[in-house]
C-alpha cells in the first residue's frame, strides 16, 4: 500500500489540475445514451444528469436485490448501458459473486465489464475503468510532460482512443505504447494492481477536490478521452517533425 501511495505522489497534482480545469465542462461534454429501463425510464435518455440519476437508481436497486435480480441488473449495466455484449451469463455471475465477497479480486482481465457492475453497486468505492478511461489517464500525463504512471490499456473500439481490431488510435501509436512509456521512465503497474491503483488515484484526487464523487472524475475521463488522446497524438507528431 505504501508503495502505491508513493507511486502516485507525482500523478495526483497533474490529475487534480486537469479535473479542476475541466469539471465545469462535465455536464456539457458527457453525452452517453441510456437505454430504456423498466422502473427508471420508459424512453431513452442522454447526458450527465440522466446518467447520474441512473447510477443512483441502480445503486438503490442493487442494495435491495436478490442474487437473481443482481444478475439481471449486471446484464443491463454491462450489455445494454455499457455496450459490452460479449460476456457469457456465467461470466457475469462470477463478477456478481466476486463483488459480494468481503475482499473482491480485481484483475485486469474483464475490468471493462466488472468495473461497471462494481461501480453501480458501490458508487462511492468503485468507478468504471475501460478503454477510454485508461487511455485518457496516460494522455493527460503525457500532455503535462509528466514522468508518470503508465496505466494498462484495455481493448476498445474508438478510432481516436484506440481500436483493437483496426490497430489504430492512441493506444496503438508506438509513442504511447506501455513499453515506450516505461523506457521514458514512467512507472509500471502490475496488470492485476491496475484497478486498485486507479481507485486509489481517484480517491486521492477527490480528497483534493473537496470530496467530489469519484464517479464525476471517471465520467470526465471518459468524456474527454478523445480530446486528450488526439491532443497527445498531435503534440507527439509536432515534436517529431
Q: What is the pLDDT of residues 25-43, one digit of tens each?
A: 999 999 999 999 999 987 8
For cell 491532443, the residue is 231
What pLDDT is stored for residue 4 in this prediction? 66
Nearest to 84 by CA among 119, 48, 53, 130: 130
Domain-wise residue ranges, the chain: 2-29+130-240, 33-121
Res 1 pLDDT > 50: no
**HEC-encoded secondary structure of 104-129:** CCCCCCCHHHHHHHHHHHCCCCCCCC
For cell 512507472, the residue is 187
Distance CA 154, CA 134 (A): 7
Say how many C-beta atoms besides its own lie within 10 A of residue 132's C-beta: 27
> What is this structure's pTM?
0.95
Q: What is the pLDDT of residues 48-70, one digit of tens each?
A: 999 999 999 999 999 999 999 99
Band the pLDDT of 85: cuts 50, 70, 90.
Answer: confident
Q: What is the pLDDT of residues 145-195, one digit of tens each?
A: 988 999 999 999 999 999 999 999 999 999 999 999 999 999 999 999 999
Distance CA 144, CA 208 (A): 18
Average pLDDT for the chain: 95
Nearest to 48 by CA among 73, 70, 23: 23
Amino acid at each position: 500500500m505504501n508503495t502505491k501511495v508513493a507511486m502516485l505522489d507525482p500523478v495526483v497534482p497533474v490529475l487534480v489540475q486537469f479535473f479542476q480545469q475541466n469539471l465545469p465542462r462535465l455536464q456539457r461534454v458527457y453525452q452517453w445514451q441510456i437505454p430504456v429501463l423498466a422502473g427508471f425510464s420508459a424512453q431513452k435518455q442522454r447526458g450527465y444528469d440522466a446518467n447520474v440519476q441512473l447510477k443512483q437508481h441502480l445503486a438503490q436497486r442493487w442494495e435491495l436485490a436478490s442474487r437473481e435480480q443482481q444478475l439481471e441488473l449486471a446484464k443491463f449495466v454491462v450489455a445494454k448501458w455499457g455496450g459490452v455484449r460479449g460476456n457469457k451469463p456465467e461470466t457475469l455471475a462470477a463478477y456478481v459473486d466476486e463483488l459480494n465477497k468481503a475482499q473482491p479480486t480485481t484483475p485486469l482481465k474483464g475490468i471493462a465489464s466488472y468495473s461497471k457492475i462494481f461501480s453501480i453497486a458501490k458508487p462511492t468505492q468503485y468507478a468504471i475503468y475501460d478503454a477510454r478511461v485508461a487511455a485518457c489517464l496516460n494522455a493527460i500525463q503525457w500532455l503535462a510532460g509528466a514522468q508518470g504512471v503508465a496505466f494498462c490499456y484495455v481493448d476498445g473500439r474508438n478510432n481516436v482512443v484506440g481500436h483493437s481490431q483496426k490497430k489504430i488510435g492512441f493506444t496503438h501509436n508506438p509513442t504511447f505504447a506501455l513499453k515506450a512509456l516505461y523506457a521514458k521512465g514512467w512507472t509500471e503497474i502490475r496488470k492485476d494492481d491496475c484497478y486498485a491503483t486507479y481507485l486509489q488515484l481517484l480517491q486521492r484526487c477527490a480528497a483534493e477536490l473537496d470530496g467530489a464523487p469519484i464517479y464525476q472524475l471517471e465520467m470526465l475521463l471518459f468524456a474527454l478521452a478523445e480530446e486528450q488522446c488526439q491532443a497527445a497524438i498531435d503534440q507527439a507528431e509536432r515534436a517529431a517533425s
